[in-house]
Amino acid sequence: MTVDRLNELMLAGALVLLVAVAAVRLSSRSGLPTLLIYLAIGMGLGEDGLGVEFSDAELTRVLGYAALVVILAEGGLGTRWQDMRPAIPAAAVLATVGVGISVGVTAAAAHFLAGLDWDSALVMGAVVSSTDAAAVFSVLRRVRLPRRLSGVLEAESGFNDAPVVILVVAFSDVDFAHEPGEWWLLAGGMLVELAIGLVVGLVVGRVGALGLRHVALPASGLYPIAVVALTVLAYAAGALAHGSGFLAVYVAAVLLGNARLPHRPATRGFADAVAWLAQIGLFVLLGLLADPSGLWRDFWPAVVIGAALSLVARPLSVVVCLLPFRRPWREQLLLSWAGLRGAVPIVLATIPVVADVPDSDRIFNIVFVLVGVYTLVQGPTLPWLARRLRLPGETEKAVDVDIESAPLERLRGHLLSVTIPEGSRMHGVEVAELRLPPGAAVTLVVRDGTSFVPQPVTVLRRGDELLVVATDPVRDAVERRLLAVSRGGKLAGWLGDAGGSTGVRD
Compute φ and ψ for 450, nearest 5 degrees.
-115, 135
383, 406: one domain: no
Q: Are residues 142 and 264 in the same domain?
A: yes
Tens-place pLDDT, residues 449-488: 888 999 988 999 988 999 899 888 888 888 888 888 888 8
Say which residue, 200 or 38, is predicted with more confidence. Answer: 200
Instruction: Answer whether residue 47 is part of any domain.
Output: no
Q: Which of 336, 365, 388 is the last residue of a domain?
A: 388
Are residues 258 and 359 both part of a single domain?
yes
Amino acid 504: pLDDT:
35
Q: pLDDT tens digit string along 11-23?
A: 988 988 888 888 8
Specify whether 318 is located in the same domain as 409: no
Query: Do 181 and 143 share a structural domain?
Result: yes
What residues make up the domain containing 467?
Answer: 402-491
Question: What are the φ and ψ backbone dihedral angles of 30, each rounded to 5 degrees?
Answer: -90, -20
Q: Which residues contact 195 (CB under 8 A, 6 or more apart)?
A: 243
* pLDDT, tens only, 239-265: 999 889 999 999 999 999 988 787 777
Shared domain for 277 and 301, answered yes or no, is yes
pLDDT at residue 8 in the model: 85
User: What does pTM read for this prediction?
Assistant: 0.77
Residue 231 lies in a domain: yes
Whether 104 and 239 map to the same domain: the answer is yes
Give CA–CA dist 186/167, Å, rounded.
8
Residue where a domain terminates, one of 388, 415, 434? 388
pLDDT at residue number 127:
92
Burial of 364 per CB tally in 10 Å (0-12, 13-18, 19+): buried
pLDDT given at position 183: 65
Residue 50 vs residue 206, higher pLDDT: 206
> What is the per-residue pLDDT across 405-434, written as a single tens digit (0 to 9) for each?
666 665 667 888 888 888 788 888 999 889
pLDDT tops 60 at residue 399: no
Judgement on whether residues 414 and 380 belong to the same structural domain of the protein: no
Q: What is the CATH number of the domain that holds 173?
A: 1.20.1530.20
